Structure 1
Amino acid sequence: MKSKIKAIFYRLREQLWFRPFIFCFFSVIAAFIAHLADATVLKDFVPSINTDSLEELLSTISASMLVISIFSVASMLSAFSAASNSATPRSFKLIIVDDVSQNALSVFIGSFIFSIIAKVALQNGLYGKAGNFVLFVITLGLFAVVILTFLQWVNRISRLGRLTNTIKKIEVAAAKAIKARIKNPTLKGIALAPKKNPGYPILAHNIGYLIRINLGYLQDIAEDLDATITVNRLPGCFIEPNTPIAFLHGHIAEDMDEISRKIDKAFSCDETRVFDEDPRFGIIALSEIASRALSPGINDPGTAIQIIGSLTRLFHLWAEPENEEETTSVSYDRIEVPEISMADLFEDAFRPIARDGATNIEVMIKLQKTFCSLASMERADITSAAMYHSEMAYKRAVQHMKFEEDLKDLKKECLISKVV
């Protein structure tokens, strides 16, 4: 239940209306809190506030906040479009959940709603002496918040749609997902165990990208059936009807269709992938930016080299020493979950860059240096993948590079040459 609530919260964060709605709700409450002050002894101690000056202040806020709210929305949409056009459309979800931009829009719209409600209440005599004073203090505080938020937002919006900022956001999102997967390589389930019998296949009923697996729900089903469930698809995979998303072991009954439908409900699908539970998606997004930069129409090898640096940092996260206190114990002892494939991660990260940058010596040398760096991590699966992709990248370069001296320089940097 906790993971489901967390997933719903992440989806709500991606909605542009969510934070403004929350702020508007509290703005309405704040406008009526001032009225409650009239029923307290505060009225005997506070100074009198001129109603006309307070009304003029509220009118100024309401007039300016409506304009600035429209301006902020237009600026955010422009930044979203720039990020999608200069980087990759997959970055849109990260740009739209930018905290500073959403908070700014929330403050601007909330201030507008507050000023309108407070002004109407003030003109109809809702506030007494204490209420006017409290309303004045709240309005001044809100005015200060608006100014500080605007200054912070102007600084952020100037960088929001820039390519470097987009790359950084994707790298941070990918690192967060990778660290979570390193902490829970089997998503708090148990590792796959070799079996002679593959089990009863549970087929998908939906079409789309798998974004979340409710392992707690699967655990309850497995305990009720006294069985074991093997997950066959991880978040990020595209599934369609008749795709075996899981296998059931130890329980075969006449009502298997009903059991299959129950198990299928644990696998949530969407039309697009998400970053938070899918480490491969962030790596794919970075690789797409590099491929775009290497296209003949853009011809920006510097961005591709920057992306290779980001990918190097992400893969080196697997080299960090494990903290036993942070490692999560098994919570679902009847659910077998496969670990993410390092070979797949390397395919996602480096094959597109090697393909599209095969004619660029600077990009290819940077790629080979990265493979050498990753091979030094002394992890068998990473070393094996680095060796393979080093060889494939060099073969691509041989097919496309015509200058022999470039090929000689590239071969010196190849991991396969240094190992041999």
Structure 2
Amino acid sequence: MSRAAWLWRLLSRRLWFRAAGFSVAAVLLALFAAVIAPWVPYDLSAKIGADAVDNILQIIASSMLAVTTFSLTAMVSAYSAATSTVTPRAVKLLLEDTTSQNALSTFLGGFLFAIVGICALSTGLYGEQGRVILFAGTIVVILLIVLTLLRWIEHIARFGRVHETIARIEQVAIKAAHRLPRDPVPAALATGPAPVGARAVCCDGFGYVTHIDLDELEGCAAACGGEIRLAVLPGAFVDPERPVAWLASDDEAIAARVRKAITIAHDRSYDNDPRFGLIVLSEIASRALSPAVNDPGTALAALGAQLRVIAALFDREARDPSNVPLNVTIPALTFEDIVTDAFRPIARDGAAMVEVAVKLQKTLASAAHIAPAMRDILGAAAREARERADAALDHPADREAVAQAHRAIGG
């Protein structure tokens, strides 16, 4: 995905952008009646009185303002609940929820449509024929409002809830995993030494890599007549002293293009960073395992979601082949970091809960079946988790249950 397409995608996810688009469309629809009024048969216009349209618009204007306010309040409450009960990192996904954005935009657009229609009727802008078009447009708006309201009622019942948020994070993490050009590898194989004679390209500020424009980098490689080796992946934190790429050219203009192709932001993004999704799922599990919450079921659900994300990391059939550049070398995710980010917090915070400790051992064993080449790394994580559980569990039967589950991974 190009940088321009990426920026457009970020813009289109903003709540105000969708609401503004619906509002402009509603105003244009209300004014459209005056434009095509001359083509409406007079006999048809005589059957629809001004009072019929005006009364309907009055009802829409008064009700949509209240519904819009209620919907906005419900959304803010869901954001606050997710911040306090799930994790603040999940709120970004809720803000980008298309169903809630469409609902709020439709209600606001219906309100503006009614206001503009009432104002135009009071000034006599439409005339007899224009009322017919306005009436037809009003019926269309009512149908959209009813359908949106029915969907919104079903959606708001689960919007921002813990398990729904876990499923949402899992989905975006799986999509990000499918965008990776290659499988995760052990740390020793992730990156090689810097190319001899290559120039280090560094970014100008501090932040996280959120997007890399591979097409632009391909163009840079063609322009310099060599290969570009990336030193970072989305999710990496960079500073002005850390190289983000190695360039086989001393041309400052090409180096500037390489910097521009790598987008830096203050916060991490889910779209191209499956590791961030695993971290957030681990945060949800850790919060659920805190003494104040004491909800091991949520931790078990998070472990299941993490296992499905790891399976997606090694699903080559679902991977997008267009993400494999010709003249740009991309480092691979290090599997040790993935395992540490995903499972160490849960092993630490759930060590005293036998059901969580057993589920963690089974999850690591399943991951070893998915990625047999990583069995040693997963086995080390399983041994560490078992040691934590042995130190925290008091009853011998609980320790034996964890030991039995640990044997499935070859421990």
**By the TM > 0.5 criterion, same fold?**
yes
Tell me by how many angstroms 1:105 deviates. Answer: 0.5
Tell me: CA distance 1:318–1:332, structure 2 relative to 1, closer, same or farther (3 Å). closer
Where 1:265 maps in the other structure, the secondary structure is helix
Tell me by how many angstroms 1:302 deviates. Answer: 1.2
User: Matched residues in 2 for 1:30 and 1:338: separation?
Assistant: 51
Q: Is 1:280 the counterpart of 2:270 in the alignment?
A: no
Q: Is 1:393 the counterpart of 2:385 in the alignment?
A: yes
For residue 4 of structure 1, what is the aligned residue in structure 2?
3
Tell me by how many angstroms 1:369 deviates. Answer: 0.8
> Tell me, which stretches of 5 or more residues in structure 2 are unaligned?
184-189
Q: CA RMSD in A?
A: 2.2
Letter in 2 for 1:363: V
1:273-312 aligned at under 5 Å gives the runs 273-312=268-307
For residue 187 of structure 2, what is the aligned residue in structure 1?
none
User: Matched residues in 1 for 2:372 and 2:402: separation?
Assistant: 25
1:5-404 aligned at under 5 Å gives the runs 5-40=4-39, 42-45=41-44, 47-181=46-180, 184-185=181-182, 197=196, 199-249=198-248, 251=249, 253=250, 256=252, 259-318=254-313, 320=315, 322=317, 327-329=320-322, 332-381=325-374, 383-404=375-396
Tell me by how many angstroms 1:44 deviates. Answer: 4.9
Where 1:107 maps in the other structure, the secondary structure is helix
Where do 4+ consecutive residues of structure 1 move more than 4 Å? Answer: 44-47, 191-196, 318-321
Tell me by how many angstroms 1:259 deviates. Answer: 4.5
CA contact (8 A) 2:65 2:111 kept: yes
CA contact (8 A) 1:82 1:161 kept: yes
Tell me: CA distance 1:418–1:3, structure 2 relative to 1, closer, same or farther (3 Å). closer
Letter in 1 for 2:22: F
Tell me: CA distance 1:365–1:284, structure 2 relative to 1, closer, same or farther (3 Å). same
CA contact (8 A) 1:14 1:93 kept: no
Tell me by how many angstroms 1:47 deviates. Answer: 4.6
Letter in 2 for 1:131: G
Question: TM-score w.r.t. structure 1 length?
Answer: 0.90
CA contact (8 A) 2:45 2:131 kept: no
User: Matched residues in 2 for 1:327 and 1:71: separation?
Assistant: 41
Question: Between the two proteins, what is the percent identity of the paired residues?
Answer: 36
User: Matched residues in 1 for 2:315 and 2:409: separation?
Assistant: 25
Question: TM-score w.r.t. structure 2 length?
Answer: 0.92
Where 1:72 maps in the other structure, the secondary structure is helix
* Number of matched pairs: 405
Tell me: CA distance 1:288–1:200, structure 2 relative to 1, closer, same or farther (3 Å). same
> Tell me, which stretches of 5 or more residues in structure 1 are unaligned?
none
User: Matched residues in 1 for 2:352 and 2:227: separation?
Assistant: 51
CA contact (8 A) 1:412 1:418 kept: no
User: Matched residues in 2 for 1:212 and 1:66: separation?
Assistant: 39
Letter in 2 for 1:412: Q
**Cα-to-partner distance string for 1:114-139 (whole Å, 9 max, x where unaligned):** 11111111111111332111111111
Where 2:245 maps in the other structure, the secondary structure is strand
